[in-house]
Amino acid sequence: MKIGIIGAGVMGADHAHILSTSVAGVEIAAIADADAGRARRVAGENGIGRILADGFDVVKDDGIDAVLIASPDETHKPLVLACLDAGKPVLCEKPLARAAADCLEIVRRECGIGRRLVQVGFMRRFDPGYVDMRRTVESGELGAPLIMHCIHRNESAPAYVEAQGLIANSAVHEFDAARYVLGGEPARISVVIGRATSKARIPDPQLVLLEFRDGTVVDIEVFLNARYGYDVRAELVCEEGTISLAPPHATTMVHRQHDGFQHPRDWRPRFADAYRAELRAWAAFLSGGPAAGASAWDGYVATSIAEAGIRAQKSGQWETIELAERPALYGAGA
């Protein structure tokens, strides 16, 4: 299978590295980036033979069977639609598109084709911790889920990130993870903006509350300038017990008066296993296996929740999450 990568930034480079070192049955045939120097560097590091000028050239190229999109968010929608029109499978980084209406257009285009071609890069669906939480909920072993506590902390956010980005780019992972673990849909969302750190330009941290249709409540602390490192936590409280993500470390270290483990500076080391599993599942799909991971529908729901969350940031009220009817192509459940 010949893959074309669009985008040679942080995630494009990371995916290129994983695909070229840890995924069997695929070859990266070409890469494109608006910054030609960056594309050349990633191509050189990963033995990619061709550099194309533009993302649409990747989609159109007859030598490319499937496309991985890791370019800026605003390019996702037109590129995904072009992949669908070319009948090519596509793995698109989150968000699928910035507006829910645009995501729905992608969903409808895919339904028109009648088969799954789009996977969205919500990698946590492949993290062993979240997989285990979902399995536990499905088994009924701990009874009904009641409350899910989530924490999403980054070391620092780039200066260009606005308050909306805290919801649309960071909390959005928690929206998808909660749907994945709980297997249902949220009905409404509210955002509490309290005391802000003096270390940020935007109101940070923020507390997001989601209420699912069955009454399960999810609370999410999003703190983009937590300073000490990247840290993601979750605890699910059920009728008969709780299940939490274990700290993701194989070892702890004693050194200079400290006993413990280091937090990574960003999400790539924390979710390295998940990214590898995500790309292996995509490769298996490309060779005829079942569609895996988040679908275009999941991408649509995540962006719809984010839109309602941005409204809630402004209104200070609970905002309803309106969803279109779920098409049969995507089966049941999250």
Phi, psi of 38 (to 5 degrees): -65, -45
Site for ligand ISE in 255-294 (CB under 6 A): 267
d(CA 170, CA 58): 28
3-state secondary structure of 181: helix
If the CB atoms of residues 136 and 154 are measured against ligand ISE, the closer one turns out to be 154
- Binding map of ligand ISE across residues 122-161, x = CB under 6 A, - = no contact: --------------------------------x-------
Strand 206-212: give its sheet, edge to edge.
241-244, 231-238, 145-153, 217-223, 206-212, 186-192, 319-320
Rounded to a whole number of angstroms, the minimum distance from the CB of residue 224 to ligand ISE is: 7
Which amino acid type is present at position 37?
A: G
Rounded to a whole number of angstroms, the minimum distance from the CB of residue 323 to ligand ISE is: 23
Rounded to a whole number of angstroms, the minimum distance from the CB of residue 116 to ligand ISE is: 23
Nearest residue to 203 via CA among 214, 216, 212, 192: 192
Rounded to a whole number of angstroms, the minimum distance from the CB of residue 267 to ligand ISE is: 4
Contacts of 87 (CB under 8 A, 6+ apart): 113, 117
Rounded to a whole number of angstroms, the minimum distance from the CB of residue 249 to ligand ISE is: 18
| CA distances, 191 to each of 302, 306, 317 (Å) | 16, 11, 8
d(CA 183, CA 200): 35
Contacts of 104 (CB under 8 A, 6+ apart): 300, 324
Rounded to a whole number of angstroms, the minimum distance from the CB of residue 162 to ligand ISE is: 12
Do residues 321 and 189 make contact, with C-beta atoms less than 8 angstroms apart?
yes
Q: Find the residue with minimal CB distance to ligand ISE.
A: 170
State both tokens at 78. 């037109």
Does residue 303 bind ligand ISE (CB under 6 A)?
no
Do residues 265 and 155 make contact, with C-beta atoms less than 8 angstroms apart?
yes
Tell me the HSE value of 250 on the side-chain side, using a 13 A CA sphere: 2
Rounded to a whole number of angstroms, the minimum distance from the CB of residue 181 to ligand ISE is: 17
Site for ligand ISE in 162-221 (CB under 6 A): 169-170, 173
If the CB atoms of residues 61 and 127 are measured against ligand ISE, the closer one turns out to be 127
Rounded to a whole number of angstroms, the minimum distance from the CB of residue 154 to ligand ISE is: 5
Bridge partner list, 50: 30
If the CB atoms of residues 77 and 153 are measured against ligand ISE, the closer one turns out to be 153
If the CB atoms of residues 108 and 199 are measured against ligand ISE, the closer one turns out to be 199
Which residues would be at the binding site for ligand ISE (CB under 6 A)?
154, 169-170, 173, 267
